Structure 1
Amino acid sequence: DLYQKNKQIIISSDRPPKAIPTIEDRLRSRFECGMIADISAPDLETRIAIIGAKLIEKAYQLEDEIINLIATSIQSNIREIEGAINRIIAYHELKKEKPTMETVKPILSSLINLPRKGSITPKIITEIVAEYFDIAINDILGSCRKKELVVPRQIIMFLMREELNYSFPNIGSELGGRDHTTAMHAHNKIKNKMLDDEKLKQDVILLKQKIFNLA
């Protein structure tokens, strides 16, 4: 039905259609008549381009030699590359220092050599923010509109978007089933307010550091 309606279907697999024994012949032939692309790990040039794009997105600058260092140190996982960029930015904004090879190398070394304590999740972000502001998680997930709850709640939504790249509907769902427009407003509110609110900016940087320490 989808084929007859000229709909597009994207299917991912670790092998080509002819090497999948469990699908019917008619489906296999249908899949083989479409475009088949082998998605491999990005090469050095691609990783450098990805890092450049992420830095533009975050409005942050790194020297070319630092970008090359990141690209050569982390080769397999784009999420790890973005995590390294986030950690480098958070560290140097907290220290109010310009990134150098000497300050970046220990950060990358810790990412490569230390065992992971666990991946970042919405639950971890929520717990860290709640502890930081000394408020109950149930209050954050609730509907109370007091300022002391609204701002931490908005920060959580901002961090879920920035660090997990969650969609706004998913963020709203994690925060007590809120509408996606609420999550979108919260993200924009914190992002814009950080431009002229130094206290808020420092709070977010410290929270990122706490989150990264668990990643």
Structure 2
Amino acid sequence: MKVIAINGSPRKNGNTSYALKVMTDELEQQGIEVETIQVGHLDIHGCIGCGYCHTSEENQCVFKDDIVNETAKKMREADGFILSSPTYYAGIAGTMKAFLDRVFFTSSSYFKYKVATSISVVRRAGGVDAVHQLNNYLNLAQTVIPPSQYWTIAYGREEGEVLQDEEGIQTLRKNARAMAWLLKTIELGKDKIPYPVEEKRAMTNFIR
């Protein structure tokens, strides 16, 4: 089994990286392969809603000069993924937003029933809003989100300071442990329990 961990911070060795490593270390201890991809420092174009991905081969995004299509393919093939971001103005970092808009617009249908979770790192406040923003992508893609004892947020400002947040780090570690358990449970159940019956989606617009 494999998990793709997305680091949405522009800082390679920032607190988001430290927090994410707590998660990936726990997953690896549970026998789960992990690949970490940092996107926060890259130049990534935002989604323009052109619809090209709905008709293109393999539902690729029209912009092919960055990491989005390549990473989306890895996330589609993986058993699960983690989204992580620092907190900017009570929200996720801008490049991470551009990345996620395009990945999920092209690939949400591939993510259904995968195990996925999100974490944010914050100096003081706004982290809950950032986690909720990340979870909006996961919920609308119909992923399975593992639980933990609290919101999956860790606190810190200076590099490495996040590791001093004992409760936050424990929350992330328990979330990763639950993720590993869910991954294994779903894998064991695939041949025994069928996925829920699908229905054609009803689209109701408010303006007709």
* TM above 0.5: no
Higher relative contact order, chain-length normalized (CA < 8 Å, sep 6+): 2
Q: Which has the larger radius of gyration?
A: 1
The two structures have a TM-score, normalised by structure 1, of 0.28
- TM-score computed with the length of structure 2 as normaliser: 0.28
- Please state which structure has a larger fraction of its residues in strand: 2
